[in-house]
């Protein structure tokens, strides 16, 4: 589906044409809510966030990765029906990320559906190794529940194409991300029992990752997926098309009217939608996978730059850039993700926000930054007095205000049950130490799992799912 309403001349004025602009930024952006939503085994963020080269060569297609990134070093062109590694027949697209496209394929040897992640030719290939280490550890089999919430790498292979050599790996497919489920809903809420179970599983998954010595580095709802039900493999490709619709193929058009280079697909393919509105997800369906380990790293590495979306990015990545990120950096992003699972909107809001805007949100909600950060924040006088009072607004939105506006009132308006006072207090008691400004003061995953809300409300809901498996 081509973006309508833009003439070629207007597109040219916005994006002057240049040769292949394969500079893919790993920095993600928050997307506007849309009824068009996708399922994938990786982040659904597009590779246009903070893109240093926003030039377009082709007509943009709605819901499709930027065609400009089909160039040397970039994506590999794939069409429905392609056959990989002698066994995987491409049935549909699942989605795309900054460094990959993800495809639903039929494994003709095992007669089941799989997700095939085809990486860009210049991408870092460490993700498959990290996942293999986490899901197939050298040590004896672990009984940690969180291991079940990570996608196992079923196979790996390489494609040699016109844009380079592409590492591919195969996992089980998933229905949709939690972010996409919300984007497919006007309510943008999960039922309370589902929100509890989703949160419990996410904390267990991160606890397992941390216990194995890794930091995920990119925690947000776009990287938390719902598993497909066991019955999914019983659908033939024809039945799948009948149930979910056949793939939509949009012709790729060069803005100069030129022929397409050999590394560019003739058609863009919109992803399949296997999900449903967030409020309709039932407890038995609420089984998750934590995915997209492209930003993950070992705790023995020194990594300083965070590529987590700004709304979930820990503040130390800005104010302590010379200190390596740590397990605590994941905890801040985990807390942001938990809030968004429970609430209708993120705790810190800001579509295409700047770092200064997000810092203002942090202070508005949580209070004054540590003194050395507070004094070093150049934009502070434009936003707050020295003692933390806002300079431009009559009212600030406190933690309690945001909980009422984003959690309780939206539920009340659509007739959903509310969190009672006891449970609300327990949620606050768990989240507040996760949002400590100083990383060393934040909770660990073990402490989160031992919190009252996890023990009394969240983990019991997950246990109901386990008993039904």
Residue 400 belongs to domain spanning: 174-227+275-468
Q: Is residue 84 part of a domain?
A: yes
Q: Which residues of the chain have pLDDT under 50?
A: 1-53
**Residues 168 and 212 grouped into a single domain:** no
Residues at the annotated binding site for ATP?
117
**Residues 378 and 436 grouped into a single domain:** yes
Helices (H) and strands (E) in the chain, counts: 16, 13
296 touches 217 (CB < 8 A): yes
Distance CA 189, CA 412 (A): 11
Q: 273, 301, 334 — which closes off a domain?
A: 273
Q: Is residue 372 part of a domain?
A: yes
- The string of DSSP letters for 212-270 reads TTEE----SGGGEEEEPPGGGGGS-HHHHHHHH-PPPEEE--BTT-PPPPTTS-SEEEP
Q: Which whole-number Å values give the CA distances from 266 to 105, 159, 172, 346, in the listed order?
A: 20, 19, 28, 38
pLDDT for residue 396: 65
**Residues 252 and 282 grouped into a single domain:** no
Q: Which two tokens stand for residue 374?
A: 């507070």
**Residues 387 and 464 grouped into a single domain:** yes
Q: Which two tokens stand for residue 432?
A: 């507040």
Closest CA to 210 of 197, 219, 220, 223: 219
Q: Is residue 282 part of a domain?
A: yes
pLDDT for residue 123: 86
Distance CA 55, CA 59 (A): 11
**Residues 355 and 236 grouped into a single domain:** no
**Residues 266 and 282 grouped into a single domain:** no
Distance CA 150, CA 206 (A): 10
Q: Is residue 23 part of a domain?
A: no
pLDDT 10s digits, 354-394: 999 999 999 999 999 999 999 999 999 988 999 888 887 65
Q: How many Cβ atoms are within 10 Å of 353's Cβ, its own excluded?
A: 18
* Residues in CB range of 55: below 8 A, 6 or more apart: 15, 16, 17, 18, 21, 68
Q: Is residue 346 part of a domain?
A: yes
**Residues 188 and 267 grouped into a single domain:** no
CATH value at residue 423:
1.10.510.10
- The string of DSSP letters for 60-106 reads -BTTS--GGG-STTSPPP--TT-EETTTEEEEEEEEEETTEEEEEEE
**Residues 95 and 201 grouped into a single domain:** no
Distance CA 331, CA 439 (A): 9
CATH value at residue 67:
3.30.200.20
**Residues 325 and 446 grouped into a single domain:** yes
- Reduce the DSSP state of residue 118 to 3 states and report it: strand
Q: 273, 288, 309 — which closes off a domain?
A: 273
Q: Which residues pair with 168 in a beta bridge?
A: 118, 157
pLDDT for residue 244: 95
- Reduce the DSSP state of residue 152 to 3 states and report it: coil
Q: Which two tokens stand for residue 309?
A: 């979306």
50 touches 95 (CB < 8 A): no
pLDDT for residue 170: 95
200 touches 292 (CB < 8 A): no
- Reduce the DSSP state of residue 194 to 3 states and report it: helix
Q: Is residue 46 part of a domain?
A: no
Residues at the annotated binding site?
117
**Residues 214 and 246 grouped into a single domain:** no
Task: Look at the chain and report how many structural domains it folds into.
Answer: 2
pLDDT for residue 54: 52
**Residues 284 and 238 grouped into a single domain:** no
Q: Is residue 268 part of a domain?
A: yes
Which pTM was predicted?
Answer: 0.85
- Reduce the DSSP state of residue 166 to 3 states and report it: strand
Closest CA to 261 of 97, 64, 58: 58
Q: Is residue 43 part of a domain?
A: no
**Residues 342 and 205 grouped into a single domain:** yes
Q: Which residues pair with 118 in a beta bridge?
A: 101, 168
Q: Which residue in the block uniquely carries the two structure tokens 């909600």?
A: 365
Q: How many Cβ atoms are within 10 Å of 139's Cβ, its own excluded?
A: 6
Closest CA to 178 of 423, 342, 307: 342
pLDDT for residue 137: 66
Q: 273, 301, 331 — which closes off a domain?
A: 273
């Amino acid at each position: 589906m081509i973006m309508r309403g833009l003439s070629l001349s207007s597109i040219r004025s916005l994006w002057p044409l240049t040769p292949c602009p394969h500079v893919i930024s790993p920095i993600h952006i928050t997307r506007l809510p849309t009824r068009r939503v996708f399922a994938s085994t990786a982040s659904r963020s597009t590779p246009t966030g903070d893109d240093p080269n926003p030039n377009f060569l082709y007509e943009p297609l709605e819901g499709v990765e930027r065609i400009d990134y089909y160039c040397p070093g970039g994506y590999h062109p794939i069409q429905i029906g392609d056959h990989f590694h002698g066994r995987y027949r491409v049935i549909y697209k699942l989605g795309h990320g900054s460094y990959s496209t993800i495809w639903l394929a039929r494994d003709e040897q095992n007669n089941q559906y799989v997700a095939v992640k085809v990486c860009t030719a210049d991408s870092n290939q460490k993700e498959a190794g990290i996942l293999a280490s986490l899901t197939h550890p050298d040590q004896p089999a672990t009984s940690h529940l969180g291991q079940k919430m990570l996608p196992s790498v079923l196979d790996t292979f390489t494609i040699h194409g016109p844009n380079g050599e592409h590492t591919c790996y195969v996992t089980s497919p998933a229905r949709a991300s939690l972010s996409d489920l919300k984007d497919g809903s006007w309510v943008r809420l999960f039922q309370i029992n589902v929100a509890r179970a989703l949160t419990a599983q996410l904390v267990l998954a991160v606890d397992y990752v941390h216990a194995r010595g890794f930091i995920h580095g990119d925690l947000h709802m776009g990287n938390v997926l719902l598993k497909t039900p066991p019955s999914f493999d019983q659908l033939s490709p024809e039945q799948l098309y009948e149930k979910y619709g056949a793939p939509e193929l949009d012709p790729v058009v060069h803005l100069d009217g030129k022929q397409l280079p050999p590394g560019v697909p003739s058609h863009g393919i919109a992803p399949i939608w296997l999900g449903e509105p967030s409020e309709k997800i039932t407890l038995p369906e609420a089984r998750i996978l934590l995915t997209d380990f492209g930003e993950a790293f070992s705790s023995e590495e020194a990594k300083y730059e965070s590529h987590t979306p700004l709304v979930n990015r820990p503040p130390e990545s800005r104010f302590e850039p010379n200190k390596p990120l740590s397990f605590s950096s994941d905890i801040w992003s985990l807390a942001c993700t938990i809030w968004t699972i429970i609430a209708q909107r993120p705790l810190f809001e800001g579509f295409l926000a700047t770092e200064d805007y997000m810092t203002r949100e942090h202070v508005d909600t949580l209070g004054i930054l540590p003194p050395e950060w507070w004094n070093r924040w150049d934009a502070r006088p434009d936003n707050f007095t020295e003692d933390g009072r806002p300079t431009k607004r009559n009212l600030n939105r406190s933690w309690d205000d945001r909980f009422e506006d984003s959690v309780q009132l939206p539920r009340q308006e659509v007739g959903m049950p509310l969190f009672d006072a006891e449970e609300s207090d327990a949620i606050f008691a768990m989240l507040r130490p996760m949002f400590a400004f100083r990383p060393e003061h934040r909770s660990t995953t073990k402490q989160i799992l031992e919190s009252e809300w996890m023990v009394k409300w969240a983990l019991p809901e997950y246990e109901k799912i386990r008993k039904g498996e």
